[in-house]
Structure 1
Amino acid sequence: MKRVIFLARALTVIALAAGGPAVSAATVHTWVDEDGVRHFSDAPPGVDGSESQLIEIRDTRPAPAAGDDPSSIVNQWARAREERMERERLNLERREARRAATQTAAEIAALEREPEVDERNRAPAFVLPYPTRRLGYG
């Protein structure tokens, strides 16, 4: 039990340390050329005699939430559950297809066992009921 608690705490500390906000900065150079046009670039201007000014821009994007981390336990559990549901759905479809194929094969076999009757060249046959009592005798 102590080992489980230790592992849970260790994983929590690692997750908090790794998931801290990542701050990155980009360098932007701006300058005005001889025609009075202001330019912005991530590379310094060429050597044409124009002055450049360096602007530091901080990345203001928020750190990814815990729900966005694909390696989080919750997301791994959700992916495993989705994969399991997909496998179960495919297995059910396969069983249904196999059952339908077996049923179709049984129907085909039953039809093959039936004798074929050619009624085109045959005179019609009528079955008359056998009389149980004779007419005229009470």
Structure 2
Amino acid sequence: MGRCDSKELLKSKGMKATKQRVQILEEIIVKQRVFSVNDLYKELNNDMDLVTVYRVLNLFNDKNIVREIFSNNDSKMYELSCIHNPVHPHFNCKKCGKIYCLEAIDEKNLISLKKSCPGFTIENISMQFSGICDKCSK
């Protein structure tokens, strides 16, 4: 997966590149995986408080910089939402709790899905599968 420039991504969304936003976004870009707020907070090495991390993530979600993903226990997880990480389904393992990113939905299928919602304004697409992963099945 390629990498976005944090300051350019913020600018493209009409946001100021504050120190906290840049620091959080750079950590998210480096991750290249699904994460929780607590994961992110720990990896920031206490450079800012947890409330700030929540506030910035909520703003990033509103601006479509991150996508929310829900785990089997209904806790919110997040991932980067950019041209390098297009919309894709996820698999939640009921046994180990791991969330796997699956192959991205190709543009043709995405257009077909969108056609099933005529007149609707689609703001977010989320597709999740749930079951037992291949490692836990063995």
Q: Fold match, TM over 0.5?
A: no
Give me the TM-score of the superposition, normalised by structure 1: 0.18
Instruction: Identify, as 1 or 2, the structure richer in helix.
Output: 1
User: Which fold has the larger relative contact order, with Cα–Cα distance below 8 Å and residues 6 or more apart in sequence?
Assistant: 2
